[in-house]
Amino acid sequence: MKKSIDFLLEHAGPVIQYRLRKEILRTITPTQETYWLDKIYQTPNFKLVQSYAKPNGYIGIGMHGRDSEHETRLQDGETAARLLSSYAIPKDHPLVAKYVAALRDDAVLQHEFLTEPKRFWERFLGLSSGWCLMTVIYTLQAMLGYGDDYKDLQAYQETCLKAFRRVLGLASLDDITKHRQSKAKYNYPYIEADEHFPFAYTHVMLAYTQSWRTPENVQMLADSLNHINKIMVPGSDLTVKVGSTYYARGLAFNRPVKPFRAGDIDVCLYRRMLTEIAMLGVGESVGVIKESVNNVLEAIDADGILRMNFSKPHNKRYSPRYLVYPGAYNDDRLEPFYEPRKKEPIGLLCDLTFWAVQFLTLVKGESP
């Protein structure tokens, strides 16, 4: 990976420079850390998130909400937290520490969700199935570095493990789904709110925490992820019944996890999900990770740069070329600028190549 790292050291912006030195090379000195963090604090998106912080510590408006409610997507509380996490802002930074304190303060949360009182009062309903406000709040605290610091967050780690253990006992999704008698347009199979099943946040909570990690639990996750790709059907849909309402499950593990392929851009949360699975410490014992490693190594060009094929027809909504902000269901973007008129923007190539280096390093177990 030397050529890839040399390319990043020459061309990447402050976020990648910092994370490369701290997480991959592990050569960063205290002086260098201060230098690169100061550079990150001057980036446009960090300053924008900083401008959305309130006196009570909460950042932005609501959480996991509609874009129409915000000046920019970074004004959403979840998106703001994801940017701070992807930028590797230290947990003791006042912006992060105050935000986590706000997320743990019921009075602050009740105030911030005055326009959505039902979401606040029912914030724990559906925790096992991954559909509730606390699923997001717990996971964001973990992503910001606090996931092992409190008993309720440690308890939620066990809930996440139960979801993956539950999968191991299934012959198919039909074992836990029910069907409603309805002519509704989206009349998909559903699970009850108290059914344990992994969702797009479940593995993330585990990826950013340590308390749960034993050889037995890591092996269980590897077995569960392999079982998911064995029994789940591509394109299957799932909802969760909470009270009398049926909610669509965005990116639950009711479909197989897709491997990385340089020519495929047809799904959101693509590279990031593979990264988060690698963060679980499962290595290449998970088939989709092993396949992705081989595909990444094959896709890296002789100059060390990872390129994806944007010339073939693809879903531009999910294309890395058009990412602006982090979100619940899309990959991360660390470079602040992409040159729009260039066929191969350096910023985009840096993002793709850093992901490749990070992913391969995580699979080898050489990075925390």
Counting residues of the chain whose pLDDT is more than 70, the rounded percentage is 93
Q: Give, rounded to a whole angstrom, the gap between the first and last alpha carbons of the chain.
A: 18
pLDDT band at 266 (very low <50, low <70, confident <90, very high): low
Task: Kindly report, residue by residue over 295-353, the tens digit of the pLDDT.
Answer: 999 999 999 999 987 776 656 666 777 777 777 777 888 998 887 666 778 999 999 99
- What mean pLDDT is reported for the chain? 91
Q: What is the pLDDT of residue 182?
A: 76
Task: Kindly report, residue by residue over 33-80, the tens digit of the pLDDT.
Answer: 999 999 999 999 999 999 999 999 999 998 987 766 778 889 999 999
Read off the pLDDT of each residue in 176-184 and give the average, rounded to a whole number. 83
Check pLDDT > 50 for residue 368.
no
pLDDT band at 184 (very low <50, low <70, confident <90, very high): confident
Check pLDDT > 80 for residue 147.
yes
pLDDT band at 267 (very low <50, low <70, confident <90, very high): low
Read off the pLDDT of each residue in 83-108 and give the average, rounded to a whole number. 98
pTM of the model: 0.93
- By mean pLDDT, which of 99-108, 188-197, 250-259 is the weakest? 250-259
Residue keyed to tokens 């991360």: 332
Q: What is the pLDDT of residue 318?
A: 65
Nearest 10 degrees: Cα torsion 256, 201, 211, 283: 30
Alpha-carbon distance values, 174 to 195, 288, 365 (Å): 13, 23, 36
With the C-alpha atoms ordered 195, 201, 205, 207, is the resulting torsion angle positive or negative? positive
- By mean pLDDT, which of 118-127, 284-293, 338-347 is the weakest? 338-347
Q: What is the pLDDT of residue 131?
A: 81
Alpha-carbon distance values, 367 to 102, 147, 190 (Å): 30, 18, 38
DSSP three-state, residue 275: helix
Q: Which residues of 117-154 are buried (b: 16+ CB within 10 A; e: fewer)?
A: eebeeebebbbbbbbbbbbbbbbbbbbbbbbeeeeebe
Read off the pLDDT of each residue in 116-132 and give the average, rounded to a whole number. 90
CB 36 within 8 A of CB 42: no
Q: What is the pLDDT of residue 79?
A: 93
